[in-house]
Amino acid sequence: MAGADTREKSMAEYELVVRGGTLADGTGGALREADVAITGGKIAAIGDLRGAGREEIDAKGLLVTPGFVDIHTHYDGQASWDSQLAPSSWHGVTTVVMGNCGVGFAPVRAGDHDRLISLMEGVEDIPGAALHEGLAWNWESFGDYLDALERRPHDIDLCAQLPHGALRVYVMGERGAALEPATEADREAMRRLAAEAMRAGALGFSTSRTLNHRTATGDPTPSLRASEAELMAIAQGLADAGSGVIEVITDFNQPDAETEFGMLRRLVSGSGRPLSFSLAQAGNHWSGWRKLLAMLEEAARDGLPIRGQVAPRPIGLLLGLQATLNPFAAHETFAAIKDKSLAEKLRTLRDPAFRDRLFAETDARQSHPLARRVMAFDQIFPLGDPPDYEPPRDQAIARIAEREGRPAQAVAYDFLLENEGRAFLFLPFANYTDFNLDACGEMIAHPDCVMGLGDGGAHVGIISDAGYPTYLLSHWGRDRAYGRFDIPYLVKRQTADTARAVGLLDRGILAPGMKADLNLIDFDRLGVCAPDMAFDLPAGGKRLLQRATGYAATIVSGTIAYRNGEATGALAGKLVRGPQMAS
């Protein structure tokens, strides 16, 4: 497909015109060729336009879409010190929603800074040292936090949600962290603060009810066992303000899925506020996610706005020498080098004597719970470059080992040494029960599901899923051998549908009067690159990053933020305060 170039116009009717692109306009309608004119940060006109732009982009042969809206990220810390919300902004995302999973940094009292850092570090795998150095803590209330975010310019728009963990600790102190029940006075305070946060510009409220979420010291998240009365009080706070969505992550086992979903239904019916929850095919449980889909369908028939947030590929761990984990992370022999530089690790790992000692220890480590997980070689795959997120079962490390007549640990060891120790193994733990993505396809197609769960800004040493929008379009629209979707449908799923799920009605569709957030995509080249590890967080903290190919340009509020995947330096992104109405 053609590249993009620009030309200045001396006599201009518009600030920017994107000429001759193939529009997937976010409505799900058929592709069509048209010009898009932009003035004042909004789309001024679409069609066969005669008026000139002060700047023009030749988009002939390029796919033109609305900017992607990612409703599940964790840039709560990064946004306070970094103007570039990468890696999401590298993947055509022009609006992110952060503050998910009940974790964040406001409201907060000075004595609880360390507690909230430990919570974020444990739940979202963001280095505590980076948070300690990067966070200015020049806020107390949620409104103060929004003001601090607004003072820093950003490359894309950002929205923030009120996190339950921070709210509970702010109101209850040590009692809240210790999971004590909230008193009536506590609940009234949370209701009042929730309403204040929504009025200040919070997009919603989030909570976590999963045992998988723990602090850096292993304690449960403060919101784990919050009562229905507490959650209802907070939801009523959103109702008092007349705005705000609710985001929940839960194990659906309190005591069972039907009971937990019934509670979510009551929160929505009692407050009138929309709700979404994380939904995936977990482990070997075939039926759980389908039961939840059936409950979603019933709720929709009853007029309750509840959606499942779903992912387009497996949710899984990246194992590597630079990552937080690798198949030998539980071995005492490896522990001696785990904090060494990559170069030092490579020198040691290439020593046959070290290799022999490590392998000799493997049998003794099989009872260790971490070793059992990261050495499940029948479920672990070489990630590859370009990465393969739907590998066939016969590419599992154990199957390769069988064919080669070698121990599986030896095969894994050799893969870890590839690319000078920068290669990754992939361990899917959700959405891959049958070694394919058919379950993801069902969820993508379901009208009561919405795309999410990319976790941009989080899990920086073990998961790299912020490239979901690129993968959704490239894999499900072009590369998959079967079960593909039409491009207009996939674009709608990541633009209009996600925007409307959180009340952002001013974006997600290419139409006059809408916010001028656009992607210009060379669809034949669109794809995700292999992840790599950067060491650019505060205090030298590491984070997994994943770039993309095929983005000729990304435009934010009519300003070109990225050209051919590289930042232009323009920072037209804004803090979005609360829901936005269409023009």
pLDDT of residue 287: 67
CATH number at residue 257: 3.20.20.140
Residue type, 457: G
Residues in Cβ contact with 152 at an 8 Å cutoff, skipping those fewer than 6 apart: 79, 80, 81, 83
147 & 262 share domain:
yes
Is 168 part of a structural domain of the chain? Answer: no
Is 574 part of any domain?
no
533 Cβ neighbours under 8 A, 6+ residues apart:
320, 322, 323, 422, 542, 543, 544, 545
Q: What does the angle CA 292 – CA 477 – CA 552 come to, to the nearest 5 degrees? A: 120
Asked if residue 300 and residue 382 are part of one domain, the reply reads no
Are 380 and 439 in the same domain? Answer: no
Task: Look up the domain containing 158 and give its range.
Answer: 69-163+202-213+246-314+435-501
Are 392 and 373 found together in one domain?
A: yes
Strands (E) located in 40-195: 42-47, 53-58, 63-66, 68-70, 93-98, 157-163
Listed residues 455, 475, 501: the one ending a domain: 501
Of 494, 458, 455, 460, give the one whose Cα is nearest residue 474: 494
Q: What is the pLDDT of residue 285?
A: 56
The predicted model scores a pTM of 0.96
Answer yes or no: is 183 within a domain.
no
CA 111 to chain centroid, in Å, comes to 30
Do 50 and 118 fall within a single domain?
no
In a domain, 578, yes or no: no
The domain total for the chain is 3
Q: 10 Å Cβ neighbour count for 179?
A: 16
Same domain (yes/no): 131, 257: yes
- The answer to the question of residue 179 being in a domain is no
Does residue 170 fall inside a structural domain? no
Residues 156 and 14 in one domain: no
Both tokens of 485, joined, read 């979707």
Unique residue bearing structure tokens 């499940």: 376
Q: 358 and 466 share a domain? A: no
Would you say residue 184 lies in a domain? no
Helix or strand (DSSP H, E) at 245: strand 245-250
Domain final residue, candidates 385, 405, 430: 430
Per-residue pLDDT of the chain in tens (583 residues, 90 and over written 9): 444 444 444 579 999 999 999 999 999 999 999 999 999 999 999 999 999 999 999 999 999 999 999 999 999 999 999 999 999 999 999 999 999 999 999 999 999 999 999 999 999 999 999 999 999 999 999 999 999 999 999 999 999 999 999 999 999 999 999 999 999 999 999 999 999 999 999 999 999 999 999 999 999 999 999 999 999 999 999 999 999 999 999 999 889 999 999 999 999 999 999 999 999 998 665 568 999 999 999 999 999 999 999 999 999 999 999 999 999 999 999 999 999 999 999 999 999 999 999 999 987 777 778 888 999 999 999 999 999 999 999 999 999 999 999 999 999 999 999 999 999 999 999 999 999 999 999 999 999 999 999 999 999 999 999 999 999 999 999 999 999 999 999 999 999 999 999 999 999 999 999 999 999 999 999 999 999 999 999 999 999 999 999 999 999 999 999 999 999 999 999 999 999 999 8
- Judge if 392 and 424 occupy the same domain: yes
Count of C-beta atoms within a 10 Å radius of residue 297: 13
Same domain (yes/no): 476, 531:
no
Query: According to the model, what pLDDT value does residue 372 have?
Result: 86
Distances (CA, A) of 232 to 228, 249, 251, 421: 6, 16, 19, 50
Look at residue 370 in the predicted model and tell me its pLDDT: 85
Strand-strand pairing, 275-278 and 245-250: parallel
- 296 with 310, same domain: the answer is yes
> Pairing relation of β-strands 518-521 and 204-209?
unpaired
Any domain includes 401: yes
> What's 529's domain CATH number?
2.30.40.10
Domain match, 87 and 99 both: yes
Are the beta carbons of 319 and 422 closer than 8 angstroms? Answer: no
Choose among 290, 232, 240, 225: nearest CA to 262.
232
Q: What is the pLDDT of residue 6?
A: 45
